[in-house]
Amino acid sequence: MKEFENACREADLKVTHQRLELYRELAQAEDHPSAETLYKRLIKKLPTLSLDTVYRTLATLEKHRLITRVQTIESQARYEAKMDKHHHVVCSRCRTITDFTWDHFDEVQVPKAVVGWGKVIRRNAVLEGICKACARQP
């Protein structure tokens, strides 16, 4: 949390109550929440919080690379504060997004065609399937 405050100052972002609480909430969330979901959770602690502030803060923090927007095919954007290199497996049934690490993927060489394309800065694996909990259901 102190790290976050420093990162804000570093980026010339004021350390506001809203930013702190939003970051705290996102950092402890395991479920890659959407703006709307975060808003519902935060409103309990910050009764005057506006939904716009949630959107604006998420955009700001993403721009400064303090959080990440997760790639999905859903209509609502989803976010996470976890910035260590990791990947996602999404359950097609319940839409849960689960983290995992994959060192081999992070380090293996990309195809020659991609080298010719340009400079790759980030790589993400997105797996899709059926989680065990869902598999047990009819």
Partner DNA sequence: TAGTAATTAGGAATTATTCTTGTTTAGTAT
Partner DNA sequence: ATACTAAACAAGAATAATTCCTAATTACTA
- At residue 10, the 3 state secondary structure works out as helix
Please report, for residues 3, 65, 85, 86, 132, the alpha-carbon distance to residue 123 in angstroms, rounded to integers and kept in the order given.
Answer: 25, 15, 9, 10, 26
Residue closer to Mn ion, measured from CB, 21 or 99? 99
Residues 77-106 that bind DNA (CB under 7 A): 77
Report the alpha-carbon angle 116-119-120, nearest 5.
110
Work out whether 80 is an interface residue with Mn ion (CB under 5 A).
Answer: yes
Interacting residue with its own copies among 44, 47, 84, 113 (CB under 8 A):
113
Work out whether 123 is an interface residue with its own copies (CB under 8 A).
Answer: yes
Chain positions contacting Zn ion, by CB under 5 A: 91, 93-94, 131, 134
Residues in the chain: 138
- Shortest reach from residue 109's CB to DNA, in Å: 34
Instruction: List interacting residues with Mn ion (CB under 5 A).
Output: 80, 99
